[in-house]
Amino acid sequence: MKALACELPANRGLPLSRLSTTDVAREVRRSGIVASISDKTVWRWLHEDAIRPWQHRCWIFPRDPDFRVKAGRILDLYEGHWEGTPLGDDEFVISTDEKTSIQARRRIHAPLPTAPHNAMRTEHEYERKGAWAYLAAWDVRRAKIYGRCERKTGIVPFGRLMKQVMTQEPYRSARRVFWTMDNGSSHRGQACIDRIKNHWPTVVPVHTPVHASWLNQVEIYFSILQRKALTPNDFPSLEALEERLHAFAQYYESIAQPFQWKFTRHDLESLFERIDRARDPELAMPNAA
């Protein structure tokens, strides 16, 4: 029964995307594995081995041919090294990105607060009051956040964020400031590196591999921001939304600690070993080299 639950439904000729407990129990009976069995028993057996065929998660194979090299450099920075040399006290690591189209939605009726036996209630209908693009830079080792609201993303708005950070201490006097960033149009490729180096000689741009935003620590801050300050979304104006974004940044700085990043180069190599086995079934065989 557990083996059946781990199969893709299509492999058994079922027109389903996922199997529920009821589906597994029905298929077990139809296949003649048992004459009768309850859904509760099926759930209990699957629960023992943490098998949940009704759940799914998305993932993507690394597509960047230089994934190992690019990811490794970022992981080294998070551990306080660059090209085998420890970072000095006058060197900093910044993680940056944009959170696009944060909408200000004014609810038709005011939310109702939490009450005994009732969660907070938020009106479904709303009026759109516009949207901000929120550009942010997270100091990885100092737990400092710098952000700004722009009407749209782009090279010029991103340049304003860099100026906002690099014109204040300690970055203005730093020996080197490493900026980790993805491959978005605002800061893509060698043209971005040349442009930044012309304006800020002490900045070292470090791009993440393609489709690897999970390596960028500012994404963690964005997820915290979304959960704690933007959900539920109820803002009467763009100005109120901007005020919330900046106020939350100040609040979060007062309680924040550097993120305890645990994914290391060793984990990266283990990941690629698993990927290689998934790509080449022969590598998964016990006697494979």
Instruction: Decide if 83 is inside a domain.
Output: no
* Residue 42 shares a structural domain with residue 114: no
* Residue 248 shares a structural domain with residue 131: yes
Counted domains in the chain? 2
Instruction: Decide if 149 is inside a domain.
Output: yes
Q: Does residue 281 or residue 20 have the better pLDDT?
A: 20
Q: Does residue 179 contact residue 78 with C-beta atoms inside 8 Å?
A: no
Q: Per-residue pLDDT tens for 236-283?
A: 999 999 999 999 999 999 999 999 999 999 999 998 888 888 777 655
* Residue 181 shares a structural domain with residue 108: yes
Q: Does residue 75 contact residue 263 with C-beta atoms inside 8 Å?
A: yes
Predicted confidence at residue 235, as pLDDT, reads: 96
Q: What is the pTM of this model?
A: 0.86
The CATH number linked to 155 is 3.30.420.10
Contacts of 66 (CB under 8 A, 6+ apart): 209
Instruction: Decide if 150 is inside a domain.
Output: yes
Q: Per-residue pLDDT tens for 88-135?
A: 999 999 999 999 999 999 999 999 999 999 999 999 999 999 999 999
Q: Give the closest residue to 126 by CA, choosing from 106, 112, 103, 156.
A: 106
* Residue 26 shares a structural domain with residue 102: no
For the chain, what is the mean pLDDT?
A: 93
* Residue 219 shares a structural domain with residue 154: yes
Instruction: Decide if 68 is inside a domain.
Output: no
Instruction: Decide if 72 is inside a domain.
Output: no
Q: Per-residue pLDDT tens for 218-241?
A: 999 999 999 999 999 999 999 999
Exposed / middle / buried, residue 219 (Cβ in 10 Å: 0-12, 13-18, 19+): middle
**φ, ψ (nearest 5 deg) of residue 179:** -110, 110
Q: Does residue 205 contact residue 166 with C-beta atoms inside 8 Å?
A: no
Task: Give the angle subtended at the CA of 72 by the CAs of 71 and 74, to the nearest 5°.
Answer: 65
The answer for 270, left when phi > 0, alpha when psi is -120 to 50, beta otherwise, is alpha
Q: What does the pLDDT average to over 54-79?
A: 91
E strands, 18-141, in order:
81-82, 85-86, 91-107, 126-139
Instruction: Decide if 73 is inside a domain.
Output: no
* Amino acid at residue number 152: K
* Residue 22 shares a structural domain with residue 94: no
* Residue 215 shares a structural domain with residue 120: yes
Distances, alpha carbon 108 to alpha carbons 113, 120, 124, 242, in Å = 16, 16, 8, 20
Q: Does residue 195 contact residue 65 with C-beta atoms inside 8 Å?
A: no
* Residue 114 shares a structural domain with residue 228: yes
* Residue 144 shares a structural domain with residue 194: yes
Instruction: Decide if 17 is inside a domain.
Output: yes
Contacts of 181 (CB under 8 A, 6+ apart): 95, 96, 97, 187, 192, 205, 206, 207, 208, 216
Instruction: Decide if 168 is inside a domain.
Output: yes
* Residue 140 shares a structural domain with residue 44: no
* Residue 99 shares a structural domain with residue 169: yes
DSSP summary character for residue 186: G
* Residue 102 shares a structural domain with residue 225: yes
Q: Give me the domain span that covers residue 234.
A: 90-255
Cα atoms found within 13 Å of the Cα of residue 154, Cβ hemisphere only: 6
Q: Give the closest residue to 196 by CA, choosing from 211, 177, 209, 168.
A: 177
Predicted confidence at residue 274, as pLDDT, reads: 87
